[in-house]
Amino acid sequence: EAEVAQSPRYKITEKSQAVAFWCDPISGHATLYWYRQILGQGPELLVQFQDESVVDDSQLPKDRFSAERLKGVDSTLKIQPAELGDSAMYLCASSSLAGVNNEQFFGPGTRLTVL
């Protein structure tokens, strides 16, 4: 069964360092999402791509976060510089425009710890 891949699964970094997360969506899924999930809270949408274009990045802290999906397939989310408050699970999800339920398929996430 096709799955969304994310790497790394875990990342520990010191504040002020740069970190990057990678996501490979399910093949053929045009829509890709990055979420941040703080423990005990629901996922918070950071950015949504349709193919290679950004559809919604209104919640992305653009002073330190950036996201790209250059060829409309895999995507990278970067934080520079990382702050203590960025410690969270970063989830990637993808969906198909043809999906009946508009369901999102989530990857396993990257657990970021900023020291």
Partner 1 sequence: SQKIEQNSEALNIQEGKTATLTCNYTNYSPAYLQWYRQDPGRGPVFLLLIRENEKEKRKERLKVTFDTTLKQSLFHITASQPADSATYLCALEDMRFGAGTRLTVKP
Give residues in contact with partner 1 (CB under 8 A).
4, 33, 35, 40-45, 48, 56, 91, 93, 101-109, 111
Q: In this complex, which beta carbon is closest to partner 1, that of residue 5 or of residue 73?
A: 5
Q: What are phi and psi of 86, to 5 degrees?
A: -85, -5
Q: In this complex, which beta carbon is closest to partner 1, that of residue 42 or of residue 71?
A: 42
Write down the least CB distance from residue 109 to partner 1, Å: 5
Q: Compute the distance between CA of residue 78 and CA of residue 110 in angstroms, rounded to an integer.
A: 12
Write down the least CB distance from residue 73 to partner 1, Å: 19
Q: In this complex, which beta carbon is closest to partner 1, that of residue 104 or of residue 114?
A: 104
Contact between residue 77 and residue 65 where contact means Cβ atoms under 8 Å apart: yes
Contact between residue 99 and residue 93 where contact means Cβ atoms under 8 Å apart: no
Write down the least CB distance from residue 22 to partner 1, Å: 15
Spatial CA neighbour of 34 closest among 87, 71, 76: 76
Q: In this complex, which beta carbon is closest to partner 1, that of residue 81 or of residue 87?
A: 87
Give just the sign of the alpha carbon dihedral 17, 90, 32, 65: negative
